[in-house]
């Protein structure tokens, strides 16, 4: 649906005027041309988008749903186009914007071309034509690579989110035909991977057995960047307080507490009334710096005025489990995250109070994001799993 931005503008003009003739005047095009555009969009949608009546053309339910998504996409895109040159509303194409996005992210025309599966001269021409119509350069060559100017960065970001909105439009239209299109992409932080997501996906898959679900892991900063670019639908895991940036919003689902864990035959397991001094005799496996779990861990030892001399930082629960299994390392981790290991006897919780380590767990979403039916169903399932 994103292949021709002019066609999408024509579609909205017909929706707004309920008339091919009036829309043709607004778009400076012929009536047969507009009729052809509407017909093409309906074929792509697989269903009528308009009811033809003597008094005019009126959007069907599918047409209205499509119009909402298209309008949201173009409002976001046009704001960025206008910042560079209002003329781009008329001239910029989806292919040019896709080239802009690829070069901005790869910072190299050859790498961008490979990413798009195109020849390098094709990508270069697309960006050059966009810059020509913009009347200003969009990239600067530096020793670090081909770097987008600030307005070009903003346009690439807006285009990415606009294209994401149009992909959701395709999913909305397919839903009306009883078909499933697209996929759900979840940014999965450590707790969600071991506790929330397995249960959620199992329940969701029972109702929608074929819709692809992709759980992406990685550093929080990378997942957040993917969310803001529209590559990730939402993040699940520990929330940041306050929210890291203004264009995302957070939804708390529940609070989680940390526990101190060790292998079942660790020397401290047999002791009672453990103190900070007892813990600092042993090396620790902890979350990376900057994570909510690590901040809680650091506060605990800072208040006592001492800290372990040996720390291994990792976001991998598997690495933590194996280090604990083969050594006297202790771990500090979410209780829910190690629930399965505790049940299997691979780890045990040390009798040390951790009441002051509660942290909020929940969803991080783009501000103003509107989920498709399938995305909403997945989120509702996740909320029900998280509910105490």
Q: Model's pTM, two decimal places?
A: 0.88
pLDDT digits (tens, 9 = 90+) for 100-135: 999 999 999 999 999 999 999 999 999 999 999 999
In this prediction, residue 2 has a pLDDT band, given cuts at 50, 70 and 90, of low
Q: At 388, is the pLDDT very low, low, confident or very high (cuts 50, 70, 90)?
A: low
Q: 207: how many CB neighbours lie within 10 A of its CB? A: 11
Do the Cβ atoms of 45 and 81 come closer than 8 Å?
Answer: no
pLDDT greater than 70 at residue 26: yes
CB neighbours of 100 closer than 8 A, spacing ≥ 6?
A: 126, 127, 130, 138, 148, 152, 155, 156, 159
- 46 pLDDT exceeds 70? yes
Q: What percent of the chain has pLDDT over 70?
A: 99
Asked if residue 196 has pLDDT above 70, the reply is yes
Taking the domain 5-159, which CATH number applies?
1.10.10.10
Fold observed for domain 183-254+361-386: D-Maltodextrin-Binding Protein; domain 2 (3.40.190)
Widest distance between CA atoms in the chain = 86
**Model confidence pLDDT, tens digit, residues 288-323:** 998 999 999 999 999 888 889 899 999 888 999 999
**What are 266's two structure tokens?**
């660790």
| pLDDT for 182 | 87
Whose tokens are 């994103």? That residue is 2
Question: Where are the CATH 3.40.190.10 domain residues in the chain?
Answer: 183-254+361-386, 258-357
Tell me if the bond preceding 242 is cis, omega within 30° of 0.
yes
Residue whose C-alpha is closest to residue 111's, from 146, 154, 157: 146
In the predicted model, what is the mean pLDDT of the chain? 94
- Give tens-digit pLDDT for 48-80: 999 999 999 999 999 999 999 999 999 999 999
In the predicted structure, residue 190 carries a pLDDT above the cut 90: no
Residue 309: its pLDDT value, please?
Answer: 87
SS3 call for 209: coil
Q: How confident is the model at residue 1 (pLDDT cuts 50, 70, 90)?
A: low
For CATH 1.10.10.10, the residue range(s) in the chain are 5-159
Higher per-residue confidence, 143 vs 119? 119
Query: For 231-267, what is each residue's pLDDT tens digit?
Result: 999 999 999 988 888 899 999 999 999 999 999 999 9
Of the two residues 85 and 307, the one the predictor is more confident about is: 85
Q: CB-based contacts of 170: which residues, under 8 Å, 6+ apart?
A: 1, 181, 182
pLDDT (mean) for 181-189: 93
- Mean pLDDT over 325-330 rounds to 96
pLDDT at 270 over 90: no
Look up the CATH architecture of domain 258-357.
Answer: 3-Layer(aba) Sandwich (3.40)
């Amino acid at each position: 649906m994103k292949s021709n931005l002019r066609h999408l503008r024509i579609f909205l003009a017909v929706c707004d005027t309920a008339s091919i003739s009036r829309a043709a005047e607004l778009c400076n095009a012929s009536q047969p041309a507009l009729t052809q555009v509407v017909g093409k969009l309906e074929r792509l949608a697989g269903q009528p988008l308009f009811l033809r009546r003597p008094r005019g053309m009126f959007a069907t339910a599918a047409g209205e749903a499509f119009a909402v998504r298209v309008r949201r996409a173009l409002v976001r895109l046009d704001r960025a186009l206008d910042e560079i040159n209002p003329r781009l509303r008329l001239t910029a194409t989806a292919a040019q914007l896709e080239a802009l996005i690829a070069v901005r992210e790869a910072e190299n025309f050859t790498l961008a071309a490979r990413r798009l599966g195109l020849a390098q001269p094709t990508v270069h021409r697309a960006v050059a034509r966009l810059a020509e119509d913009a009347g200003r350069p969009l990239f600067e060559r530096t020793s670090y690579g081909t770097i987008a100017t600030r307005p070009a960065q903003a346009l690439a970001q807006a285009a990415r989110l606009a294209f994401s909105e149009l992909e959701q439009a395709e999913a909305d239209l397919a839903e009306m035909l009883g078909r499933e299109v697209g996929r759900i992409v979840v940014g999965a932080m450590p707790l969600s991977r071991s506790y929330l997501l397995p249960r959620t996906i199992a329940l969701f898959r029972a109702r929608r057995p074929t819709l692809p679900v992709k759980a992406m892991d990685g550093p929080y900063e990378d997942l957040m960047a993917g969310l803001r670019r529209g590559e990730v639908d939402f993040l699940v895991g520990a929330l940041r307080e306050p929210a890291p940036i203004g264009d995302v919003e957070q939804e708390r689902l529940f609070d989680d507490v940390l526990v101190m864990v060790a292998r079942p035959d660790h020397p401290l397991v047999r002791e009672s009334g453990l103190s900070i001094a007892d813990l600092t005799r042993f090396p620790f496996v902890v979350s990376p710096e900057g994570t909510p779990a690590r901040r809680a861990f650091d506060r605990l030892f800072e208040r006592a005025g001492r800290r372990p001399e040996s720390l291994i930082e990792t976001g991998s629960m598997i690495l933590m489990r194996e280090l604990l299994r083969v050594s006297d390392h202790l771990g500090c981790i979410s209780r829910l995250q190690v629930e399965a290991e505790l049940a299997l006897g691979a780890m045990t919780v040390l009798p040390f109070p951790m009441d002051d380590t509660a942290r909020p767990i929940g969803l991080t979403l783009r501000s103003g994001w509107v989920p498709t039916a399938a995305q909403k169903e997945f989120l509702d399932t996740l909320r029900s799993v998280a509910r105490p």
